Amino acid sequence: MKYLSNKKGFLGTDNKSNNKENVVVIPFGLEKTVSYGGGTNKGPREIIKASHQVELFDEDLNKEPYKSIGIKTLKPFPIKKNIVDALKQIENINKFLLEREKFPLILGGEHSLTSGAIRPFIKKFGKICLLHFDAHADLRNSYNGNKFSHASAIRRCLDNLNVSVVSFGIRNISLSEMPFLNKNKKRINIFWAKDKLKWNLNKFKKIIKNKKVYLTFDVDGLDLSLMPATGTPEPGGLFWDETIKIIKVAAQSSHIVGADINELSPIKGFDSYNFLVAKLAYKIISYSFEFKKKFR
């Protein structure tokens, strides 16, 4: 695997920084099944570009987290044309990195990538809790005749019985998804957006306590006033402070072992949306390592 130089990679740090990488950022601009707005193939490039403007000092942690973590970015590479092959491709990349004890952070790309990305984590750790931020439940068995659609991303992850899901911000679910949800309530916990003011994060802590967690963040989980640069924006979503609080609680209560951020569709001339995602990525990395628990 070939890396970008530090200056060209995520955060654009000084090339003199030679920390051994613990985090590997994977640009994976998958765009195969989008059903409304397009442009996810441009997401990784714009996130990395915007990350060069992210302040490296974290005022909450009172340090520059990247210095003690070590972050490298893979050079962009061609994505397989067939969706099944593309999912196998990201699976193999994550497998390679996990074998070397790295933390993969995938910058998507559409949400369908998650079902491929999570497979090596299941094989390595056995049980995985998927921490899922999204406007949509993504529990359809198929959409537009494609069972690997972005609208089926979480359903495909749940094909493996060792996967459970905790979802935040859901505010769009179809009638066809309800029977599967009702049948699998022991494996699926949803913190509905409509109940935001009543969310019990202590309940969340108990659900994920000491578990291996893979974090998947569809940016349409954020309110559309904050994040319109996505294919299927929805009103009534998450805002920055409450989002960061949930991620911090997760990092303190569980062991986050990998992550992806997906569904950014950059809008020309509106770089603030790309910057938001870049800062979100840095926060996920920083909290995951600040509160890292050792599981053997």
- Chain-centroid distance of CA 209 in Å reads 20
d(Cα 53, Cα 174) in Å, to the nearest integer?
Answer: 39
d(Cα 191, Cα 216) in Å, to the nearest integer?
Answer: 15
Q: Is residue 246 part of a domain?
A: yes
Domain total of the chain: 1
pLDDT tens digit string along 66-86?
A: 999 999 999 999 999 999 999
Q: What angle do CA 165, 43, 236 make, to 5 degrees?
A: 50
- DSSP 3-state assignment of 166? strand
Q: Is residue 296 part of a domain?
A: no
- DSSP 3-state assignment of 29? coil
Q: Is residue 16 part of a domain?
A: no
Q: Which long-range contacts (CB under 8 A, 24 or more apart) does 2-9 make?
A: 2/74, 2/75, 3/72, 3/73, 3/74, 3/75, 4/72, 4/73, 4/74, 4/75, 6/72, 8/48, 8/73, 9/48, 9/71, 9/72, 9/73
Give me the pLDDT at residue 293, please.
54
Give me the pLDDT at residue 294, please.
44
Q: Encoding tokens for residue 85?
A: 């092959």
Q: Is residue 46 part of a domain?
A: yes
pLDDT averaged over the chain? Answer: 94
Q: Is residue 108 part of a domain?
A: yes
pLDDT under 70 in the chain at which residues? 15-18, 33-38, 293-296
d(Cα 172, Cα 166) in Å, to the nearest integer?
Answer: 16
Domain hosting residue 83, numbered range: 23-290
Nearest to 48 by CA among 15, 5, 19, 92: 5
**Domain of 251: which CATH number?**
3.40.800.10
Q: Is residue 8 part of a domain?
A: no
Q: Is residue 208 part of a domain?
A: yes
pTM for the full model? 0.95
Q: Encoding tokens for residue 53?
A: 């403007």
Q: Is residue 106 part of a domain?
A: yes
Give me the pLDDT at residue 155, please.
97
Give me the pLDDT at residue 91, please.
98
d(Cα 154, Cα 83) in Å, to the nearest integer?
Answer: 16
Give me the pLDDT at residue 37, please.
54
Give me the pLDDT at residue 16, please.
63
